[in-house]
Amino acid sequence: MERTLINSVSHHISKEVLIKGRIINLRKMGGISFVQVQDYTGKIQTVWGKEIPAKMGDAVEVIGFVKKDERAKGGYEIEGNEMVVIATNIEEYPFDLSKPKLNLQLTTLLDSRPLSVRHSKVQAIFKLYDILLEAYETAMREEGFTEIKTPKIIGAASEGGANVFKINYFDKHAYLAQSPQFYKQIMVGAFERVFEIGSVFRAEPHFTTRHVNEYISLDAEMGFINDYQDVMKELNKTLVKIFNDLTKKGGKYLKEYDVEIPEVPNKIPSVKLSEIKEIIKKKYKYEISADTDIDPEGERLAGRYAKEEFNSDFIFITHYPFSDRPFYTMRSKENPEETYGFDLIYKGMEIATGGQREHIYASLMKNMKEKKVSGKGMEFYLDVFKFAMPPHGGWGMGSERIIQQILNLGSVKEAVLFPRDVKRLSP
RNA sequence: GGACCCGUGGUGUAGCCCGGUUAACACGUCUCCCUGUCACGGAGAAGAUCGCCGGUUCAAAUCCGGUCGGGUCCGCCA
């Protein structure tokens, strides 16, 4: 007998079907029992008037008659005739999968990830993430971007910092890429518009709910731009598409977390860093010192300002000082202490960084000198600027942070299947 | 790197400040009852040397010291 997938059971009313899946709820009521079975397409209730050979969590095959019944969730159920246990638990589950909420400590949730991902509320996170990845890819392709994959084992740190993992590489040392920056810029010279969905590694010992040491960055880089605003417009357009898709295809997953996604504005408000500091000081009586970047509390307040003033969950902050940005950032023509670099704040948290890059070889050299970047090991990158690189820019966006913010997750680690942090290398 | 916080049955918590008979509650597990449950309901049972070591005390989950493990915020970032 052919297997029927649970989401198409309704097409087989009054017929006998075979379903396969996992028992995710089991209610014995005496003479009648209800067994909820889940496969990769959905859940359905099966009803039994006899003894059931399986227990909670078992993988089973069920043969039974499909009938419409308003008493069952979803309106359909299967009157079970035969149940075969395909695989059984030889140990007790460490927590109860049948409850709508798992109610676990983050540590427990992650330690038992192989089992906690079996809970539908946990699955919702990763189903939504799946939609996000597809949406980003589709949106970028529609805009003429070519998907690239760049090396994650590299010979020199792309941003000079000390925050790279050093690894052994045969008889040499190598580093794990903390960004595809150099490679995506190089590829602008070939394909003009490129994007990458890939892992980045950061060796920073942070202990927060918004950091992990390995995450998936949604990168893009585009050429022949007029200015940094072209980049922001493109990112804006991409976000509109992504969030539309998440709303359209992710409804049932969003519902698990009781959230709705408001529309992304067609023009996300944009404020200069120096201005937002003034606004936050005046409006919320919170002062950020003039010579530093905006701090997390400042970001939260910037998010609040965007909501109150523009009814937007998003806000761009532009013109970061050159001292805070990497050497390849294009400096402002009006004020060389400022750059054409921006951050994107979503619901009070930074989710993307981008900007226009310096494409003139001589200026790049000058900037490196000022920042005391040696350039050793990155000649392959620097030299490409001797060969007519067009004005260009791009962004890097934290994919897991988007999901964290959409679902209001307590930690970004909930949005990473097997997160890596200072303490966690397993599972 | 700086500051703060937490370790109690399988899970989530209470008790700790103000030391005192069988360490409490909820969920799960096991046994029994239940023909419309889906946070089912009812009756009963098992399950914890309170992270570890030492000290104070007649008496320590509780107070003190050490140690190990973990977390949060800040810095930095996505």
- Give chain A's length: 427
The pair of three-digit structure tokens given for residue A113, joined into one six-digit string: 């990830």
Interval A83-88 mean pLDDT: 92
Q: Give Cα A350 to chain centroid, integer Å.
A: 13
Whether the Cβ atoms of residue A9 and residue A78 lie closer than 8 Å to each other:
yes
CA dist., res. A330 & res. A220, Å (int):
17
Chain B nucleotides reached by a protein CB under 7 Å: 1-3, 10-13, 27-30, 33-40, 69-78
* pLDDT for res A289: 74
Protein CA A98 to sugar C1' B11 (Å): 13
CA dist., res. A352 & res. A391, Å (int):
20
Name the nucleotide with the smallest C1'–CA separation from A57: B28
Protein CA A54 to sugar C1' B31 (Å): 18
C-alpha distances (whole Å) from A140 to each of A143, A234, A263, A360 are: 5, 9, 19, 27
* pLDDT for res A399: 97
Name the nucleotide with the smallest C1'–CA separation from A397: B78
Per-residue pLDDT tens over the stretch A302-361? 999 999 999 999 999 999 999 889 999 999 999 999 999 999 999 999 999 999 999 999
Name the nucleotide with the smallest C1'–CA separation from A161: B76
pLDDT at A286 exceeding the cut of 80 = yes
* pLDDT for res A229: 96
Handedness of CA A288, A290, A291, A293 (dihedral sign): positive
* pLDDT for res A97: 86
Interval A106-128 mean pLDDT: 93
The pair of three-digit structure tokens given for residue A287, joined into one six-digit string: 């002062």
* pLDDT for res A284: 85
Query: Domains plus CATH for chain A?
Result: 6-87 (2.40.50.140), 120-415 (3.30.930.10)
Interval A389-418 mean pLDDT: 96
Q: Average pLDDT over chain A, rounded to whole?
A: 92
* pLDDT for res A158: 62
* Per-residue exposure over A115-151, b if at least 16 CB sit within 10 Å of its own CB, e if not: bbebbbbbbbbebbbebbeebbeebbeeeebeebebe
Protein CA A38 to sugar C1' B51 (Å): 38
Protein CA A259 to sugar C1' B71 (Å): 27
Per-residue pLDDT tens over the stretch A374-390? 888 889 999 999 999 99
Question: Exposed, middle or buried, A30 (CB in 10 Å: 0-12/13-18/19+)?
Answer: exposed
Per-residue pLDDT tens over the stretch A232-279? 999 999 999 999 999 999 999 999 999 989 889 999 999 999 899 888
ipTM for the assembly: 0.86
pLDDT at A290 exceeding the cut of 80 = no
CA dist., res. A16 & res. A102, Å (int):
34
The pair of three-digit structure tokens given for residue A386, joined into one six-digit string: 């001797």
Residue A197 backbone phi and psi in degrees, to 5: -115, 110
The structure's pTM equals: 0.91
Q: Give Cα A147 to chain centroid, integer Å.
A: 17
Name the nucleotide with the smallest C1'–CA separation from A396: B78
Percent of chain A with pLDDT over 70: 98
Per-residue pLDDT tens over the stretch A151-193? 999 987 666 555 889 899 999 889 999 999 999 999 999 999 9
pLDDT at A118 exceeding the cut of 60 = yes
